[in-house]
Structure 1
Amino acid sequence: MAWLQISFVVERDCVPLLEAALENAGALATTLGDAADEPQLEPPLGTTPLWRRVRLTALYPDQPQVLATALALSRSLAAHLGVKPQIERIEDRIWEQTWRDDFEPARFGRRLWICPQGQSADDPDAVVVELDPGLAFGTGRHPTTALCLRWLDGADLVEKTVIDYGCGSGVLAIAALRLGAIHAVAVDHDLQALEATRANAEHNGVADRLFACPPEEVPEGPADLLLANILAGPLVELAARLAALVRAEGRLAVSGILHDQSAQIMAAYAPWFRLDKPRTANEWVLVSGCRKQS
């Protein structure tokens, strides 16, 4: 089966009516994307902001009557909006497998590898985490996750306890366990992320040493290491909370920080930590440090 995909690039004020029109014409799905490289890094809680320029894409089944209606509507909308739609025919594929075209084993640091399930690392000394892209963020492909994975590869983790705050897929907690940590707590407010973390831990043989929970259920008692790959705003707000979760002389690594936000993050954590020189990858930064004695 084939599909017809119709895309418009429009100002955000046009999106609600355009989306409704395309759906009324039989679209099976519509998606919104950034049309002008304008990232939304920290939207307010409970909001779904749109970019100033939005790419709206509608997908239609390859059926003559539906296609005729969709194409006629597209021509009418194009004339009204003054924008030209992009129309393409897409052959059907096994969509859940298409990600494998771009997702290959990758090394982070000296010995840590993230591999798709069923693939192996070309390294006899590799410590492997098997992970497929899923509903939760975190495969190591984003620079902030890569920074954290490289930091973990160089950390002393043997017999240590770890907290992964904002765990997403659980990749950092699972990597820590595979590198020698004795126990990990994976924390996220998103129930899908916790579900994905538990499934990934089971697949990697570390489920018996990992506890996944929402923030209000974090066990008492500080950990030896804490990682938080979230965003600058929440990192500042959580500074005292995260500091309290790290034992004296324990280690902290936080990322999800843009370069021009690093000074703010370091100032927020300096009361509790002796901070290292920040690590960078492209425009992203990882801040780490050692917990001061009380």
Structure 2
Amino acid sequence: MSWITLIIKTDPAHAERLSDALMEQGALSVDIHDAAADTKDEQMLFGEPGEPSGEIWQNAEVSALFNQDADIKEVLRNITHTAQLDSQPDYRLERVEEQDWVRLTQSQFDPIRISQRLWIVPTWHQSPDPAAINLILDPGLAFGTGSHPTTQLCLGWLDRNLRPGDKVIDYGCGSGILAIAALKLGADHVTGIDIDPQAIEASQENAMRNQCDPSKFVFATTHQAVQQGLQPDEQVDVVVANILANPLVLLAPILAQTVRQHGHIVLSGILKEQVEEVRDVYQHWFDMCIADEQEAWVLLTGIKR
């Protein structure tokens, strides 16, 4: 069995209407995304913590999955009318073949060696080095398998620089991989924060899978963190944020406030051409430097003055 994906180029004014119209035409699922995702032209959208941004990408695409026998020409005629378009939209079709999706996904992730003593081991693999510090990971629906350079840059810094007893905030914790690494490397307490509730669920499950002491970690959505005061009044030793350049710039005052004097800020998700912009913002509070690079990505770190 196979399926058809109908991908339509659109703009913010019509994206939601197209999405609704496609569902009315029998789409199995519909997704709105940035047509420039994973390129230098990617547009970041942000709202208040815990709340949706309410915005749509300027260069948007709507993807709809249909059964293979769907009449796509009729679908296009109908949605052109229903979504009040002036003409039939630009589109392309892709075929999705049936596969063992679980096995396919798992096959993409093998154990990853971060350093002499630190490994990332997916739950479906045996550890290559049982004596090492092994991060046993199932990302679920959250970002953070450990395969991405931005994650590896952060893990490498934690491995080299984290001191036993440090207090850490992992902002944008995803699967919890950085928070768990900090705990297994000797952190006294870690607070993991993410906008996505599924990330919090994955982080909690992975922390327990790694036998982390429940008294030493808290994971919460940004909304919960604000409501419950989980962002500590007492400043922490290390704040690590593996997100993207634009949110790092927007979050700079919040992240800076949570770092104690002489504490460390660790920033990842930054492309080489974005370094100057991010560094200039954080220089207000920190002595910043490029700590490491991998492929097109840069790790920025700073010590608070």
Q: TM-score, normalised by structure 1?
A: 0.80
Q: Does 1:107 align with 2:107?
A: no
CA distance in 1, matches of 2:177, 2:108: 18
Give the Cα separation in 2 of the matches to 1:285 and 1:219. 28
Given that residues 15 and 60 in structure 2 are in contact (C-alpha distance below 8 angstroms), is that contact kept between their aligned partners in structure 1?
Answer: no
TM-score by length of 2: 0.78
**Structure 2 equivalent of residue 248 of structure 1:** 261
Q: Secondary structure at the match of 1:217?
A: coil
Tell me how far apart the structure 2 counterparts of residues 97 and 51 of structure 1 sit (CA, whole Å).
36
CA RMSD of aligned residues (A): 3.2
How far off its partner does 1:9 sit? 4.9
d(CA) in 2 for partners of 1:99 and 1:20? 30
Q: Distance in 2 between matches of 1:6 and 1:237?
A: 35
- Percent of matched pairs sharing the same residue: 35
**Equivalent residues in 2 for 1:104-253, closer than 5 Å:** 104-208=110-214, 209-213=216-220, 214-215=225-226, 216-253=229-266
| Residue in 1 that maps onto 2:23 | 23
Preserved contact between residue 9 and residue 35 of structure 1 (Cα < 8 Å): no
The answer as to whether partners of 2:15 and 2:62 remain within 8 angstroms in 1 is no
Partner of residue 5, structure 2: 6
Shift of residue 21 of structure 1?
5.2
Amino acid at match of 2:203: T
Distance in 2 separating the partners of 1:183 and 1:264: 31
CA 1:120–1:82 in 2, change beyond 3 Å: closer, same or farther?
A: same
> C-alpha displacement at 1:54, in angstroms?
2.9
How far is 1:142 from its partner? 2.7
DSSP-derived class of the 2:169 partner: strand
2: distance between equivalents of 1:219 and 1:18? 43
Which residue, 39, 43, 46 being the options, matches 2:45? 43
Structure 1 residues 224, 81: closer, same or farther in 2, change over 3 A?
A: same
Change over 3 Å in CA distance of 1:88–1:151 after alignment to 2: same
Query: How many residue pairs align between the two structures?
Result: 284
Post-superposition shift, 1:235? 2.7
Q: Which residue of 2 aligns with 1:70?
A: 71
| Deviation string, structure 1 residues 258-283 (Cα, Å, up to 9, x no partner) | 32332232232234333333422233
Shift of 1:35: 4.9
Q: Which residue of 267, 272, 276 maps to 2:285?
A: 272
Q: Confirm or deny: 8 A CA contact 1:109 1:149 kept in the other structure.
A: no
2:66 matched residue in structure 1: 59
